[in-house]
Structure 1
Amino acid sequence: MSPIFLSRIEQWLMTALDKNYNTRGTRSSPLSNERVLKFYSELDSILSQKILNVFYLPTLQFYSFEVTPDMTLLEFRDIIKRDIGIENIFCIFPTGHPKPVLSHTYRPIDFFVEEWQDYHNANNNPVMLYITEMQEDYKPPTPEIPFYIKKYLSAKDELPDWLLKFIEQSTHYLLSSEQRYLEAFVSGLRNTL
């Protein structure tokens, strides 16, 4: 679930589950302070949004951006500059993307692939667009190893069984979540060649 979708669905749930039955499912109209039913229209809006999933190769991070039919490439570039903090953007389509090559005539909505929204399908690409920065120096990201795993690795005394089990489960979770990043990175590298 993308952070954009999650944020909007949380707001919608607060409206839908309002304790006050007089205001439940409604919002105040900015024009006239009357309450207007927004329950269904907001849900339709949330479900119809197009979320473009992007993987930034230098930092191995996933990003999600809402794209609209009227958004321009310049606006999309400005959003990337703001959220990721890069100037010279180089975009790469994943293998199997419906668009054969990048073109300056495309709009960001053209990068979106409806069928690839299901991340549980192993046949789908992990993202709809890879991004890297055109730069000469590459600095690999520093691995983030949780404190308790570092402490376990440097422990001199034998640890209790419950703590070992906790560390084992945490390590398994850490490695399985990192595998998603590794697969996206390898896929992105393949597409750059």
Structure 2
Amino acid sequence: MPLVAPSHDAQKMQEKGFSALTSRAWNESVSYQAGAGTVTFTAVLAHHSGDASIDPLLGLGNGYWIDVTQGDWKKTLYWTGDTLAAEDVIQAVRARGPLDILMPHLGRVGTPGPLGKISMGADAAVQLARALSPTKVVPIHHSSYVLYLEPIDRLVTQSQGAHYGLDLISEGSRLLYR
């Protein structure tokens, strides 16, 4: 199965046995045929910390802009990865064009120590959604670990009356957007 990963992680993943690996640095793309359509992944800027000096310690990550096309039909998705809603991230994603689906990693992981906040909470996800104007927001990565500091219902509360639809999915579920 093909796997797309940040260039920073390629060697470690190959050492673990991933052989169908394509690594991409920011602004690099890879496309795959999917039936009669095409799925293109473009790596975009990501900051795992609000402190740029901490990013190398946590690993340079990617967000991914994903274009799914079949003939004249197209959907765009931005999967944030472990980034915060920094202004340069917002500008890099906004430059890609209109967005259909925003998939933010949530949970507001962080400490009062040197690493600080290292994943978005509801406030940042709402800020990102306002800036990028997606049709749908599908939060992920929000209930997988006990170290998360913020429950997903905080995003539900903050999204009431928002311009976007909020779709919560449980583990193992599927959403179908046409």
Q: TM-score, normalised by structure 1?
A: 0.24
The structure with more radius of gyration: 1
Larger helix proportion, structure 1 or 2? 1
Q: Tell which has more relative contact order, 1 or 2 (C-alpha 8 A, sep 6+).
A: 1
Q: TM-score, normalised by structure 2?
A: 0.25
